[in-house]
Amino acid sequence: MTRQAGLILKAVNLRKQFKLTSPIAKGALLTAVDEVSLDLVKGETLGIAGESGCGKSTLGKILAGLLQPDHGEVQYHGSPLGSLSQKDFRIFRRTTQMIFQDPFSSLNPRMRIGDIISEPLTISGSSLPDKRRTVATLMETVGLNPELAQRFPDEFSGGQRQRIGIARALAASPQILIADEPVSSLDISIQAQIINLLQEMKRNFDLSLIMISHNLSVLRHMCDRVIIMYLGIIVEDAPAIDLFRQCQHPYTEALIAAIPKIGANPRNHAVILTDDLPSPLDIPSGCRFHPRCRYAAEICKQTPPPLTERAHGHASACHLATTIFPQIQTCA
């Protein structure tokens, strides 16, 4: 099956800006997502990575239909969301579910977890006996005792609350799950449990998964493809195995170098970033990464590099990629 034949979700030239209201920068426009295009095929796990503030969470909310882009469109099974009828848009919202970073703030503290999980079933008109059966099944599926359905969210640990969020998303019978940093607030031991649970749910429920994370180790473990974002744009897009074996952008190189490794080569420390991401209110000219790039040349300071496919399915936005990185098979 070609990618086009299996396409389930597609984003075309998405752009999203926010007008700031703080006294310091009142009225200023912050560009969170800038001309971003991507696609997701059935059964795929797509990773979206980058430092905090790169726009990945905003992108996830646009893909889920929770935010409207200022420019561009999201297509669901080939149809732009803006052209869907009210009925079809409700179907999209039901079949595209989001798992949020903070499992506590995303759960209503005044609702019992059985009612939280069954909300999508209530909206779809399921009977009370059907809801109870489904909630019990879903709680067992995510590793929770169904007898706890009458408890409130604050009676559970962070890992258990994230399992509740996953069960609520699955109650809608989704085709797509968008997980926004689902393990970043959890202890390391609990992170592994949630990651393994997501992979199991993906297999058992035949899901397509978008995994948003700043943790490249997680994405390397889970994803078929990985997109790297920097200051609102995509700087690299590649199959996960190719990205980690032979990346084609200095920013990706720095992120990979920062992954903790046993017996790491000290020479790799030279590419680890130690400074902060520039403000999205003051985006550098030319290549947005050039102020932090150890390879930057004059062209990098003046001309934005286009996202260019350098091998089949592997694209990067770097003027110097062909000279600073190992040669890869060129596109046909």
pLDDT tens digits, one per residue of 154-184: 999 988 999 999 999 999 899 999 999 988 8
**Where is 225: in which H helix or E strand?**
strand 225-230
Number of residues that this document lists for the chain: 332
- Domain membership of residue 180 (yes or no) is yes
End-to-end CA distance of the chain: 19
CA angle 199, 201, 205 (to 5 degrees): 130
Q: Are residues 198 and 269 in the same domain?
A: no
**Range among 25-34, 45-54, 270-279 with highest mean pLDDT value:** 45-54
- For the cut 80, the answer to whether the pLDDT of residue 332 exceeds it is no
With b for 16 or more beta-carbon neighbours within 10 A and e for fewer, the 141-156 pattern comes to: bbebeeeebebebeeb
Total of domains in the chain: 2
Question: What pLDDT is recorded for position 2?
Answer: 58
Q: Are residues 213 and 266 in the same domain?
A: no
Q: What is the pLDDT of residues 184-239, one digit of tens each?
A: 878 888 888 889 999 999 999 999 999 999 889 989 989 999 999 999 999 999 99
What is the SS3 assignment for 136?
Answer: helix
User: What is the percent of the chain with per-residue pLDDT over 70, rounded to a whole number?
Assistant: 95
Q: Are residues 204 and 297 in the same domain?
A: no
Averaged pLDDT for residues 112-134: 88
Averaged pLDDT for residues 287-314: 94
Residue with tokens 């003046």: 302
- Domain membership of residue 160 (yes or no) is yes
Q: Are residues 31 and 113 in the same domain?
A: yes
Q: Are residues 145 and 35 in the same domain?
A: yes
- Domain membership of residue 131 (yes or no) is yes
CATH number of the structural domain spanning residue 158: 3.40.50.300
- Domain membership of residue 303 (yes or no) is yes
- For the cut 90, the answer to whether the pLDDT of residue 315 exceeds it is yes
Averaged pLDDT for residues 2-26: 85
Q: Among residues 243, 254, 263, 252, which one has the least CA distance to residue 310? A: 243
Q: Are residues 172 and 285 in the same domain?
A: no
- For the cut 70, the answer to whether the pLDDT of residue 328 exceeds it is no
* Whole-angstrom distance, CA of residue 135 vs CA of residue 153: 15
Boundaries of domain holding 310: 249-332
Q: Among residues 49, 50, 60, 58, which one has the least CA distance to residue 16? A: 58
- For the cut 90, the answer to whether the pLDDT of residue 124 exceeds it is no
Q: Are residues 182 and 277 in the same domain?
A: no
- Could you say which of 188, 223, 258 is where a domain stops? 223
Question: What pLDDT is recorded for position 263?
Answer: 56
Q: Are residues 176 and 63 in the same domain?
A: yes
Q: Are residues 47 and 193 in the same domain?
A: yes
- Domain membership of residue 212 (yes or no) is yes
User: What is the percent of the chain with per-residue pLDDT over 90, rounded to a whole number?
Assistant: 64
Q: Are residues 43 and 133 in the same domain?
A: yes
Global pTM value: 0.90
Residue with tokens 């409700």: 90
Q: Are residues 205 and 261 in the same domain?
A: no
- Domain membership of residue 266 (yes or no) is yes
Question: What pLDDT is recorded for position 126?
Answer: 83
Question: What pLDDT is recorded for position 222?
Answer: 92
Question: What pLDDT is recorded for position 325?
Answer: 86
Q: Are residues 211 and 91 in the same domain?
A: yes
- Domain membership of residue 206 (yes or no) is yes
What is the SS3 assignment for 92?
Answer: helix
Q: What is the pLDDT of residues 52-68, one digit of tens each?
A: 889 999 999 999 999 99
